[in-house]
Chain A
Amino acid sequence: MKTIRIQGRSLALLAVVLPLLALFVYVVLRSGPLAPVTVTVSTVEARSISPGLFGVGTVEARFSYRIGPTIAGRVKRLDVHVGDRVHAGQLLGEMDPVDLDDRVRAQEAALKHAQAALHEAEARQAYAQSQAKRYEQLLITHTTSEEIAATKKQDLKIANAALVAARQNLARVRADGAAVVAQRNNLRLVSPVDGLVVARDAEPGSTVVAGQSVVEVIDPQSLWIHVRFDQNSATGLTADLPAKITLRSRNGQSLKGGVLRVEPLADPVTEEILAKIVFDDLPDPLPPIGELAEVTVTLPELPAMPVVSNAVVRTEGGQLGVWQVEDGELHFVSVKLGQGNLDGQVQIREGLAIGDHVVVYSEKALSKRSRLHIVEQLPEAAK
């Protein structure tokens, strides 16, 4: 009876202590350095990928006209507002002419004065000519002195010269008048093209210097995107490649376009290559100038090659490579990478063959001695 009771107690004690010990052994083996590293493994496959390039740019107008005076002055009036459509030759505004109108009137008076002077010179010349003719005949009949006849001849020559001077003076005054009128017209701000007013930089009454813009007009048909591609990831960027454009204000909506040209000058400071992207169809309403746009350029599909996810690629001791699993053994293989696409697939040019098993995800850094616990998906990432 007694022994049974004691055995019963021993069993109860064992029932508590044994699971505790089992749990302890489990804990020691499953945590710390003895624990296996949970990893996922994939197979290298031959696949053809189409690399993509990603850049960020702003919407710009190819033709933008900054209209302003050629000399310093004050803005007199402006007839257009931002957003107005204008046509070629339309008067947009005018600079204050100050005294130019008065000078036009002075030139008109001067013109009349010159015309009158010309009439006077003509009258004098006609009289001098008839006098010279009369005294010539009188000299033939010897009814006048040779000296008087010579004087009349000289009078005619002087009158001829005065007539020429008066004519040229009239031409000069006319040209002067035309010049003042041209200057006056130069103060009119006229649109050179059919376009859209995008900026009104000065209001009537404000003073602007020569060359400063008063109104900015763009040709809305000429919108393009000025895109910057990081030089590191711009392999294969050329003109005529198709592109997808996402405007920041229309996120989720992708517009079609193409590379118009890659700029011959890259930005050496920001280490970017610049390119111009045009829309296939201009969006309606037009995107504002300066809006941020994301551009994805798709390159032609490449021939099939061994391809892995870029999460596979690791660095060990400065060497780029992958962890290959062969018969449950881990070893690091250095590889040479080819091109990659934007979804994270990258070509392996050297180091791996199709069908090789490589580690994709791991819960910590691997080493040669790591024990592996291969799963479909890491438990933490599945949460």
Chain B
Amino acid sequence: MISLAGRDILNAWGKFVFTGIGLGLLIGVTLTMAGVYRGMVDDGKALLDNSGADLWVVQLGTLGPYAESSSINDDVYRSILSVPGVAQTANVTYLTMQVRQGRRDVRSMVVGIVAGGLGKPGWPPYLVAGRQITRSHYEAVADIATGFKLGDRIQVRRNHYTVVGLTRRMVSSSGDPMVFIPLKDAQEAQFLKDNDAVLKQRQRTAENPSFNRPGVPGLLDAVIASQSKNPYVNAVLVRIQPGYSANEVAQKIHRWQRLTAYTRSQMEEILIGKLIATSSKQIGMFLVILAIVSAAIVAFIIYTLTMDKIREIAVLKLIGTRNRTIAAMIMQQAIALGVIGFVVGKITATFAAPLFPKYVLLMPLDTVAGFFAILIICVLASLIAIRMALKVDPAEAIGG
């Protein structure tokens, strides 16, 4: 029993393999697009995982701190600590901005973390180089995607920070790498924009006659001093004691502290269901179109490959080959093509993924689903080709 399909492939293996590779590149693009979609969702989850919190306490009635702006006093954490079931609290600020280093600047999310609280919520959970922040001012831990190196001096607003540690996969929901700095500096960075702005604000206050009264020396200084303080943070991250339910503690905080508290699942709902909803749908839509186009091209290639061989098939029919044998040959070829395409696609997708500026997550389940989808598409496409092949008139083998 000789394999007709094998013999045929061997006959023109170069053409076959290169068609498979071409198909593979197309499948690779589709898999990568699926990875881009998964990466977006994963960025959102990474943000929540990295904060290490069970509850996010934010300004009453806001969807903060990621999806909306939220601002609460920085001493609120003390009263939250007194709520039964709360194990740890930590103030945190988030601010997306350009961080300058030398001549270039990097778009990043600056996170203010409580100094001296090693292992508190909000701290980078692991590092790839360097160390965690030890000073309460002017040190930074940056995500490796920022391109900063250990010892680099970076500028956030008015102050310079030394990069003392590097971490990985610490991103905002929009994929911007994070830069962690001590909370007090971050509060200042949120408020004191730059020297020019500070100077202008002072002048504006000095020109206001109600603040600069001749009879009350010192009033202007006091007003300016109170203006240059920022006693606010964006959220308080809360860890819950074992044995307490996150929902109950969240309700207690909402009821007695008059603040909104979100649990992990609610936060995920906000991030994935609201914050990145449209952009992920956009990518998802693109993925669907790409999958349909890929399927159409696969079908078309198999159909053309069969049509190329229509004369040989006619000869086969002429010498009395059974229909089943011919059908098996075409289907085997289609599946072989699909497998080569899938293998090449998976390889290209895996090697291409790290080259993307944003995170591309290739999920094994997606890969498996993709494999079966390709097989089904190949089988379906070969059915059309088989139908054409079986309909061919054996006379064509000898006729014009």
Q: B-contacting residues of A (Cβ < 8 Å)?
A: 6, 9-10, 12-13, 16-17, 20-21, 23-24, 27-28, 31-34, 54-56, 207-209, 211-213, 229-230, 232-233, 269-270, 294, 309-311, 313-315, 317-318, 320, 337, 340-344, 346, 360-366, 377-378, 380-381
Query: Taking the nearest CB of chain A, how far is it from the CB of B171, in angstroms?
Result: 13
Does chain A have a CB within 8 A of B129?
A: yes
Query: Given the interface contacts A318-B242, A346-B118, does A232 sit within 8 Å of B136 by beta carbon?
Result: yes
Q: How far is the CA of A346 from the CA of B137 in the complex (A)?
A: 19
A32-B363, A33-B364, A211-B217 are known; give 18 further A-B pairs, CB within 8 A. A6-B10, A9-B10, A9-B13, A23-B347, A28-B346, A31-B362, A230-B136, A294-B137, A310-B132, A311-B126, A318-B239, A344-B132, A346-B118, A360-B127, A362-B126, A365-B49, A365-B126, A381-B144
Report yes or no: B144 in contact with A318, Cβ–Cβ below 8 A.
no
Q: Is B64 an interface residue (CB 8 A)?
A: no
C-alpha gap A16/B9 in the complex (Å):
13
Q: Which residues of B contact A12 (CB under 8 A)?
A: 13
B220 to chain A, nearest CB (A): 12
Bound state CA distance, A24 and B339, in angstroms? Answer: 11
Q: Is B273 an interface residue (CB 8 A)?
A: no
User: Which A residues touch B138, using CB under 8 A?
Assistant: 56, 294
CB-contact partner of B364 in A9, A20, A32, under 8 A: A32
* CB neighbours of B87 from chain A (8 A): 318
Complex A-B: 11 CB contacts under 8 Å: A12-B13, A28-B346, A32-B367, A209-B214, A229-B136, A294-B137, A314-B119, A344-B131, A346-B118, A380-B168, A381-B166
CB-based contact B346/A315 at 8 Å: no
- Min Cβ gap B19→A in Å is 13
* Nearest chain A residue, comparing its CB with the CB of B9: A13
Contacts of B231 in A (CB 8 A): 269
Q: How far is the CA of A362 from the CA of B168 in the complex (A)?
A: 9
> What residues on A are CB-neighbors of B351 within 8 Å?
27
Is the beta-carbon distance between A209 and B217 smaller than 8 angstroms?
yes
Q: A13-B17, A209-B217 are in contact. Are A54 and B135 (CB under 8 A)?
A: yes
Instruction: Closest A residue to B150 by CB, please name it.
Output: A381
Question: Could you tell me the distance between the alpha carbons of A183 and B169 in the complex, rounded to whole angstroms?
Answer: 75
- Beyond A31-B362, A318-B239, A362-B126, is A343–B350 a contact (Cβ under 8 Å)? no
Interface string of B135-150 (1 = CB under 8 A from A): 1111000001000001
Assembled-state Cα–Cα distance A34/B231 (Å): 47
CA distance A27 to B364 in the complex (A): 11
Given A13-B10, A17-B17, A380-B144: A54 in contact with B137 (beta carbons within 8 A):
yes
Give the nearest-CB partner of B336 in chain A.
Answer: A17
Interface: B44 (CB within 8 A): no
In the assembled complex, which residues on chain A have CB atoms less than 8 Å from the CB atom of B346?
24, 27-28
Q: How far is the CB of B189 from chain A (nearest CB, A)?
A: 14
The one of B127, B350, B367 that contacts A311, using a Cβ cutoff of 8 Å: B127
Q: CA A28 – CA B364 in complex, angstroms? A: 9
Q: Are B343 and A21 in contact (CB under 8 A)?
A: yes
Whether, in the assembled complex, B301 has its beta carbon less than 8 Å from a beta carbon of chain A, the answer is: no
Is there a chain A Cβ closer than 8 Å to B116's Cβ? yes
* SS class, residues of chain A in contact with chain B: mixed
Complex alpha-carbon distance, A338 and B88, angstroms: 19
- Taking a contact as CB atoms under 8 Å apart, the answer to whether A232 and B114 are in contact is yes
Indicate if B392 sits at the interface (CB-CB under 8 A): no
Q: Which residues of B contact A337 (CB under 8 A)?
A: 118
Chain A residues within 8 Å of B116, by CB: 230, 232-233
Bound CA span A270–B240, Å: 25
Query: Looking at B13, B119, B367, which has the most chain A CB atoms within 10 Å of its CB?
Result: B119
Question: Is B151 positioned at the interface, with any CB of A under 8 Å from its CB?
Answer: no
The one of B75, B164, B242, B347 in contact with A27, judged by C-beta atoms closer than 8 angstroms, is: B347
Instruction: Select which of B10, B52, B150, B347 is within 8 A of A10 by beta carbon.
Output: B10
Whether A13 touches B13, Cβ cut-off 8 Å, given contacts A31-B362, A207-B214, A233-B115, is yes
Least CB distance, B233 to chain A, in whole angstroms? 13
Nearest CB of A to B170, in Å = 11
Partner of B52, one of A55, A213, A315: A315
Chain B positions within 8 Å of A233 at CB level: 115-116, 134, 136
Cβ A364 vs Cβ B217 within 8 A = no
Closest beta carbon of chain B to A120's beta carbon, Å: 50
A310 adjacent to B144 (CB under 8 Å): no
A310 to B343, Cβ gap below 8 A?
no
Question: Which residues of B have CB within 8 Å of A343?
Answer: 131, 134
B358-399: CB near A (< 8 Å → 1, else 0) gives 000011100100000000000000000000000000000000
- A270 to B52 alpha-carbon distance, docked (Å): 25
Give A213 to B221 CA distance when docked, in angstroms: 14
B344 touches A54 (CB 8 A): no
Known pairs A9-B10, A310-B118; A365 contacts B125 (CB<8 A)? yes
**Interfacial chain B residues near A21, Cβ < 8 Å:** 343
CA distance A315 to B88 in the complex (A): 12
Query: A381–B123 Cα gap in the complex (Å)?
Result: 19
Checking B88, B126, B217, B340 against A314 with a beta-carbon cut-off of 8 angstroms, the contacting residue is: B126
User: When chains A and B are docked, how far (Å) is the Cα of A361 from the Cα of B231?
Assistant: 35
Q: Which residues of B contact A230 (CB under 8 A)?
A: 115-116, 136, 184
Contact of A344 among B13, B134, B169, B362 (CB under 8 A): B134
Give chain B nearest CB distance to A26 CB in angstroms.
Answer: 9
Q: Kindly report which residue of chain A lies nearest to residue B88, judged by CB atoms.
A: A318
Q: From residue 221 to 240 of chain B, which have CB atoms closer than 8 A to chain A? A: 231, 239-240
Q: Are B343 and A20 in contact (CB under 8 A)?
A: yes
Contacts of A55 in B (CB 8 A): 136
User: In the bound complex, how far is the Cα of B167 from the Cα of A361, in angstroms?
Assistant: 9
Contact B344 A20 (CB under 8 A): yes
Is the CB–CB distance between A311 and B130 below 8 Å?
A: yes
Inter-chain CA distance A378–B127, complex, in Å, is 10
Q: Determine if A20 and B347 form an interchain contact, defined as CB atoms under 8 angstroms apart.
A: yes
User: Could you tell me the distance in whole angstroms from the C-beta of A211 to the nearest C-beta in chain B?
Assistant: 8
B273 to chain A, nearest CB (A): 24
In the complex, the answer to whether B340 meets A17 with C-beta atoms within 8 Å is yes
Given contacts A209-B215, A232-B117, whether A27 and B128 have CB atoms under 8 Å apart is no
Please give the distance in Å from A365's CB to the nearest CB on chain B: 6
The residue on B at minimum CB distance from A10 is: B10
Contact A320 B119 (CB under 8 A): yes
Taking a contact as CB atoms under 8 Å apart, the answer to whether A311 and B119 are in contact is no
Q: How far is the CA of A104 from the CA of B214 in the complex (A)?
A: 31
Q: How many angstroms from the CA of A17 to the CA of B6 in the assembled complex? A: 14
The answer to whether A310 and B131 touch (CB under 8 A), given A31-B362, A230-B116, is yes
Cβ contact within 8 Å between B137 and A378: no
CA distance A232 to B367 in the complex (A): 49
Task: Please pick, from B134, B169, B353, the residue contacting A310 in the complex, using a CB distance under 8 A.
Answer: B134
Which partner residue on chain B sits nearest A51 by CB separation? B134
Assuming the A-B contacts A20-B344, A24-B347, are A232 and B115 also in contact, with contact meaning beta carbons closer than 8 angstroms in the complex? yes
Nearest Cβ on chain A to B166's Cβ, whole angstroms? 6
* B165 at the A interface (CB under 8 A): yes
Partner among A17, A314, A342, A363 whose Cβ is within 8 Å of the Cβ of B128: A363
Give per-residue flags for B237-266: 1 if the beta carbon is below 8 A from chain A beta carbons, else 0.
001111000000000000000000000000
